Amino acid sequence: MWRRVGSELVRHCVVASSTTLNTALGKDAERGMFAWGGGEDVEADTSFGIYSGNVLGTYTTQLEAVESCAHMDPSLPSYCMALLRRGSWLVVDALETHDAFLRFVNTPAGLEFAENAHFEWRNGICLSHEPIPPFNLAWTDAENAPSEIWAEYA
């Protein structure tokens, strides 16, 4: 993934196999999003982007939006998140939006490690909590595990 810095495009993050998640769940096809950093740690409070996708509903309160997400059919795949944008609470699903790369940020819920990033309720911006080591193309998936971005979904 790329982001614009001035007039240049700079590599920003990488989507790759989530060795940590696949090991924890006994799977082999889960993907995750990794910090790029260009050889240096990604600093704390770095923005990885804004959560995007199809708007499934608009609500007047946070509780209504969160309840809408909770009542979705669990047998259907989705990447839903409740977000506050322009004064309204939205439920956004990134599943069918191919350029919505933040859907590859995994949640550590139920696993034995902590998040290193978070999604802000307002606007759905994903920010790092702490420095994150950069993904290295020459390393194995397991060696790149510390570069994976983990955040609870709002």
What CATH number is associated with residue 43? Answer: 2.170.270
41 vs 37 pLDDT, higher one: 41
Q: How far apart are CA 74 and CA 121, in angstroms?
A: 22
Same domain, 40 and 13: yes
Question: What are the angstrom distances between the C-alpha of 23 and each of 4, 26, 97, 144, 145?
Answer: 34, 5, 27, 14, 11
Average pLDDT over residues 33-50: 88
Q: Are residues 43 and 57 in the same domain?
A: no
Same domain, 75 and 56: yes
How would residue 60 be classed by pLDDT, with cut points 50, 70 and 90? very high
Q: What is the domain extent for residue 66?
A: 52-98
Domain tally, the chain:
2
Is the pTM here over 0.95, yes or no?
no
Please state, for a pLDDT cut of 90, what percent of the chain lies above it: 41
Report the run of H or E that residue 50 belongs to, with start and end.
Answer: strand 47-50
User: Are 110 and 89 within one domain?
Assistant: no
How confident is the model over 7-13, as a mean pLDDT? 73
Q: Are 116 and 43 in contact (CB under 8 A)?
A: no
pLDDT value of residue 1? 66
Q: Name which of 102, 95, 91 is nearest 126 in CA terms.
A: 102
Q: Does 89 share its domain with 39?
A: no
Do 34 and 45 lie in one domain? The reply is yes
pLDDT above 90 (res 105): yes
